[in-house]
Amino acid sequence: MTGRTRLAAAAVDLGVVAALALPLWALWRQTGDPLAYLAADMLPGQGTYVASKGAGLVLIVLLWLQAVSAGLRGTPPGRVLAAALGPHDRNGLLVAALALGHPLLFVAAVSLRSGELVLAPLLPRLTDYYHAMLTLGLTAAVAILVAAGAGLRRRRHHTRLAVLLHRLAPAAFAAAWLHGWTIGSETRTPPFRELYVLLALSAAVVWAWRLARSIRG
């Protein structure tokens, strides 16, 4: 790695830290001091609910980084991103863990609030707008888990099926982004709202360019 690449990677690292800090700051603005949720007089499950929201916000930023770095692979910006972010597979496992943790924490919060195990949020429902968007989020989570698993499989056994399943990742990002935009309160909190829109636009530009380059051969 050249000195210039190291410097660029360090700058990207600072940008990543800022991109992760912004949604957490938006969460703080919406929910207040997280330590307050440890108080005995807090509603049951409220702290778990906030943790679920935090996991979802961090997830969307990390998923965007994965999608963009993969789209730029083989280019100078892609090499800088790879140097800054580290192994793509390792980051994919972190994304998969957050994709699993976000809905499970939500279910845990609802269950703690009701005093019994509630699995309804994990069941697909299109009966109304809110539950349709929950179902979209579940679909995104499943797609992320499948794409991450296929990525690991592809690394060890480069099969066509693993390659195709791993390519679900951009669609998973799109579904997760829309899920967060439609029913997430922090995604409408400036300045994270503007960053959230920028994530979608930049990912769309990168993958449109990648697709055009593939078509041209």
pLDDT of residue 56: 95
CATH 1.10.3860 assigned to 3-216: no
pLDDT of residue 39: 65
pLDDT less than 50: residues of the chain: none
Q: Which two tokens stand for residue 152?
A: 């690991």
Cα separation, 76 vs 34, in Å, equals 40
Using DSSP's 3-state secondary structure scheme, residue 75 falls into coil
pTM of the model: 0.90
Condensed to tens digits (0 to 9), the pLDDT of residues 66-116 reads 999 998 887 888 888 887 788 888 899 999 999 999 999 999 999 999 999
pLDDT of residue 82: 82
Cα separation, 163 vs 154, in Å, equals 6
Q: 84: burial class by Cβ within 10 Å (0-12, 13-18, 19+)?
A: buried
Kindly state the helix (H) or strand (E) to which residue 49 belongs, with its residue range: helix 46-71
pLDDT of residue 13: 81
Find, among 29, 60, 57, 62, the residue nearest to 190 by Cα. Answer: 29
Cα separation, 46 vs 44, in Å, equals 6
Per-position DSSP letters for 183-210, written without gaps between them: H-SGGGSTTHHHHHHHHHHHHHHHHHHH
